[in-house]
Amino acid sequence: MEELSTQKFTDEELKMVPYLKGDTVIFLCRETSKTNTFLVVDRIEDYEKFSRGNPHDLYSSYCTGDYYYSQFLNTSFDIQNCRLHLYISNSFEDNNFDKNLTINFSIPNDTLILKFQGKYKIGPDTIMTGENKVAAYHDSLTLNGTLFMNVYELHGTDFSPLHEYLKTAYYASNQGLIGFLTSNENLWSLKK
């Protein structure tokens, strides 16, 4: 067994998830003027151990092979299924150390829960194409009268066309989620 180099995020990459426990985030719908308030209930930054062997195999419990520690960041909100997760791929399974951001977010809207899910590879100061699509990058973008800088327009998982869902997320490098566009073209944006 040999301990390999620890995999970490840079300080700039960690800023991509800027929320601290106790922060409040409010989104405003342009069309209806309704607001939804989200409270950050948890921010966990820690390390996970990955090993070459299968640690769950009873016959290899004493020798799991080479191993390393990998940093992750998990931020949860008080609305069910709302979280942001930074993690580094398991190199023993994927043969690389891809840095990833996953977004799972839901906005309650009348009787529906509007959902967004997406996974993106990241690098310093940037979000790149991953399992889901980066539709555009904007040096600056105005949403509901507020100017935001360094904004990525992200497409997520397509949900059932029978119900409205969050088809696009707007994500700013140092501000996190700043808005969503629904499949019915309703805009929810960060209320300043």
Residue in the block written with tokens 């808005």? 179
Name the residue among 156, 16, 153, 8 with its Cα closest to residue 87: 8
Residue 160 corresponds to which tokens in the numbers above?
């059932």
Residue 187 corresponds to which tokens in the numbers above?
């805009």
pTM: 0.86
pLDDT at 125: 57
Note the pLDDT tens digit of each residue in 128-181.
Answer: 666 678 888 899 999 999 999 999 999 988 776 678 889 999 999 889 999 999
Residue 122 CB-density burial (10 A; 0-12 exposed, 13-18 middle, 19+ buried)? buried
- The residue ranges of every structural domain in the chain are 11-190
**Which residues are CB-contacts of 44 (< 8 A; sequence separation ≥ 6)?**
72, 73, 74, 75
Q: Which of the 8 DSSP states describes residue 159?
A: -
pLDDT at 60: 47
Report the phi/psi class of residue 116: left, alpha or beta, with left for phi > 0 and alpha for psi in -120 to 50: beta
pLDDT at 131: 63
Do 72 and 86 contact (CB within 8 A), yes or no?
A: yes
The segments of the chain whose pLDDT lies below 70 read 53-64, 95, 124-131, 160-161
**How confident is the prediction for the chain on average, in pLDDT?**
86
